[in-house]
Amino acid sequence: MTIYGWIQILLYCGILVALVKPVGFYMYRVFNGDRTFLSPVLVPFERGLYRLSGTSEKEEQHWAVYATAMLLFNLVGLLVLYALQRLQGVLPYNPAGMTAVDPQLAFNTAASFITNTNWQNYGGESTMSYLVQMAGLTVQNFVSAATGIAIAIALIRGFARASGKSIGNFWVDLTRCTLYVLLPMCIVLTLVYVWLGIPQTLGPYVDATTLEGAKQTIALGPVASQVAIKMLGTNGGGFFNANAAHPFENPDAISNMIQMLTIFVLGAGLTNVFGRMVGNQRQGWAILASMGVLFIIGVIVCYWAEAAGNPLVHALGIDGGNMEGKETRFGIAASALFAVITTAASCGAVNAMHDSFTALGGMIPLINMQLGEVIVGGVGAGFYGILMFVVIAVFVAGLMVGRTPEYLGKKIEATEVKMAMLAILCLPLAMLIFTAIAVVLPSAVASMANGGPHGFSEVLYAYTSAAANNGSAFGGLTGNTPWYNLTMAIGMLMGRFLVIIPALAIAGSLAAKKTVPASAGTFPTDGTLFVGLLVGVIIIVGGLTFFPSLAVGPIVEHLAMIHGQTF
């Protein structure tokens, strides 16, 4: 570890914290229906969309209606994206002549992009046409991100409202998020990326002659616009197979810093939105502090492990950290920081090969995802995910002091606790059961590039990434097979919608309750004690659930490495 590496990390954290309040204030005004600097331009367009869709910003929905609208919208998105891939060969904007995508791969990709996962069992530049990239994948990058933010806002309303029957309007929240938040920011980011050298073109691929005289085809396309939303919307799917390690997606240290900031900025900003909507910004800062503690722990461990390197390599007389699978233009610190950020959010973009990380360095991304990516998390998804743990934390606090648990004046009762546990337990259900089957199924084992504990980690990482709606991969697993395409798609759908439905049920239940004034016995939830309790609950729940799988994967691999054993 070097002082320059820590400066990069501290600079990133400082800029992010500085952005929380302005971004949160703007998003609060957007979802509160207040006037913003974009209102003169966008309000007429927004209201026109409502008229076309037969709704209004004044029309509110019961949580069940809100959930139904969200499910139908995503079902249509799944079918449209699947059809675009299957008809790709006869559709326009296909200069490379891409053929139709295989049915199983098309289903996996459609499920991946509507769930904000963006797991890719294909190489983007060799599989998807410009039309599918833009009208299919990029559109889902916007609306899947907007869906996650809409669910988070609906859940916040549940805590903020009293004796209410509604939690907002899905169509209004989706529209406002897309029009006022995602599109304007992505337009600015796209222009910045083009300025930094990222391509943005509809022209054909370019043929070049190398110094050795060989012919090389250089893939191009509308890259900058997709990079903008893939990072801001914590989608992560790369236009190119190498993702953010490709120089056309991530040219230099400046673009790398911007991309890391955009992954976290909306998720961090939602904590401030929460504080403003419930009338106590300290509540939002407490949640952000809990996220920050887990994030800093992960960065320290990952950076230390990668900087320490492999003792087996050191024994050969080669000193230095672990640079295998990393870009020299980023180095160890920026690569480790990027890995922690992208897996702490439901992003999945990568600027280094996680399969080449040390055992403990690769374990941190795994843990981030297994905890439900509540460490800032994806846009919306991370925030409503951590609120599930908040419900459990205040329930535990209530048990310890012998009184009915409360949070923000709302009594946390059996319904909320059951729904929160359902949301939390669906993730290990998808992650661990599919992993257990895959490591004994011969056809699935054949896809593993490595044996021993590292091979097990590859499979565990794949299903963890799918169910956590992350989309990153270790890189050593051949996922484009019938088994992995089908089971990972199921895991993605479970990890998305079996969390969203309980979250909306909690929102509806809380919104209908009266607010109870704080008393002398009320447990304070905006201070250091609550931050410690919340962090402890997250670690204990994750530790008890996933420690056995981590023990036979990265932990035993690390112990073997320091004793000189290879596989």
pLDDT digits (tens, 9 = 90+) for 334-380: 999 999 999 988 888 888 988 889 989 999 999 999 887 777 767 77
User: Residue 164's pLDDT is what?
Assistant: 83
Domains of the chain, by residue range, sit at: 27-252, 281-562
d(CA 62, CA 79): 26
Give percent helix, percent strand, percent coil of the chain, each to the nearest 5. 65, 5, 30
Q: Using alpha carbons, select from 204, 269, 193 the residue that is nearest to residue 30.
A: 269
pLDDT digits (tens, 9 = 90+) for 231-261: 998 888 777 778 888 899 999 999 999 999 9
Pairing of strands 406-407, 206-209: unpaired
User: Residue 543's pLDDT is what?
Assistant: 76
User: Residue 124's pLDDT is what?
Assistant: 67
Report whether pLDDT(414) > 90. Answer: no
pLDDT digits (tens, 9 = 90+) for 296-346: 999 999 999 999 888 887 777 777 788 888 888 898 999 999 999 999 888
Report whether pLDDT(10) > 90. Answer: yes
Percentage of the residues of the chain whose pLDDT score is greater than 70: 99
User: Residue 97's pLDDT is what?
Assistant: 80
pLDDT digits (tens, 9 = 90+) for 56-114: 888 999 999 999 999 999 999 999 999 999 998 888 888 878 888 889 999 999 999 99
pLDDT, greater one: 474 or 495: 495
User: Residue 316's pLDDT is what?
Assistant: 78
H-run or E-run covering 553: none
pLDDT digits (tens, 9 = 90+) for 192-205: 999 999 998 887 78
Q: Could you give phi then psi for residue 528, rounded to 5 degrees?
A: -65, -40
pLDDT digits (tens, 9 = 90+) for 148-197: 999 999 999 999 988 888 999 999 999 999 999 999 999 999 999 999 99
Bridge partners for 536 per DSSP? none
Report whether pLDDT(545) > 80. Answer: yes
Cα three-residue angle 75-58-33, rounded to 5 degrees: 90
d(CA 460, CA 454): 10
Is residue 264 within 8 A of residue 231, CB to CB? The reply is: no
Report whether pLDDT(48) > 80. Answer: yes
User: Residue 561's pLDDT is what?
Assistant: 83
User: Residue 266's pLDDT is what?
Assistant: 93
Averaged confidence pLDDT in the chain: 88
pTM of the model: 0.90
SS3 88: helix
